[in-house]
A and B are shown apart, each in its own frame.
Chain A
Amino acid sequence: MYSQGLIGADGRTTESEEFLARFQARIDAEEKIEPTDAMPEGYRRTLVRQIGQHAHSEIVGMLPEGNWITRAPSLRRKAALLAKVQDEGGHGLYLYCAAETLGVSREEMTEELLSGKAKYSSIFNYPTLSWADIGIIGWLVDGAAIMNQIPLCRCSFGPYARAMIRVCKEESFHQRQGYELCMSLAFGTPEQKAMVQDALNRWWWPSIMMFGPHDADSQHSDQSMAWKIKRFSNDELRQKFIDATVPQAEYLGLTLPDPDLKWNEEKGGYDHGPIDWSEFWRVVKGQGPMARDRIKARKKAWDDGAWVREAALAHAEKRRARKMAAE
Chain B
Amino acid sequence: MVQTTPLWEVFIRPRNGLSHKHVGSIHAADEVLALQAARDVYTRRGEGNSIWVVRSADIHASDPDQAAENFEPTADKIYRHPTFYEIPEEVGHM
| CA gap between A174 and B45 in the complex, in Å | 14
| CA gap between A48 and B42 in the complex, in Å | 23
Asked whether any CB of chain B lies closer than 8 Å to the CB of A90, the reply is yes
Residues of B within 8 A of A312 (CB): 5, 28-30, 33
Residues of A within 8 A of B61 (CB): 36
Asked whether any CB of chain B lies closer than 8 Å to the CB of A287, the reply is no
Asked whether any CB of chain B lies closer than 8 Å to the CB of A94, the reply is yes
Residues of A within 8 A of B2 (CB): 107
Q: B3 is contacted by which of A93, A170, A310, A315 (Cβ under 8 Å)? A: A310
Q: For chain B, give the interface size range.
A: 20 to 34
Residue of B whose beta carbon sits closest to that of A91: B41
Asked if residues B30 and A319 are in contact (CB atoms below 8 Å), the reply is yes
Q: What is the predominant secondary structure among interface residues of chain A facing chain B?
A: helix
Asked whether any CB of chain B lies closer than 8 Å to the CB of A272, the reply is no
Asked whether any CB of chain A lies closer than 8 Å to the CB of B93, the reply is no
Asked whether any CB of chain B lies closer than 8 Å to the CB of A248, the reply is no
Asked whether any CB of chain A lies closer than 8 Å to the CB of B26, the reply is yes
Asked if residues A90 and B5 are in contact (CB atoms below 8 Å), the reply is no
Report B47-80 CB contacts with A as 1/0, cut-off 8 Å. Answer: 0000000000000010111000000000000000
Asked whether any CB of chain B lies closer than 8 Å to the CB of A34, the reply is yes
Other than the given A90-B42, A97-B24, 11 more pairs (CB < 8 A) read A36-B64, A37-B64, A83-B44, A86-B40, A86-B44, A97-B7, A106-B5, A312-B5, A312-B28, A312-B30, A315-B29
Closest 8 CB pairs of A and B: A312-B29, A316-B30, A316-B29, A97-B25, A313-B29, A90-B41, A36-B64, A93-B41
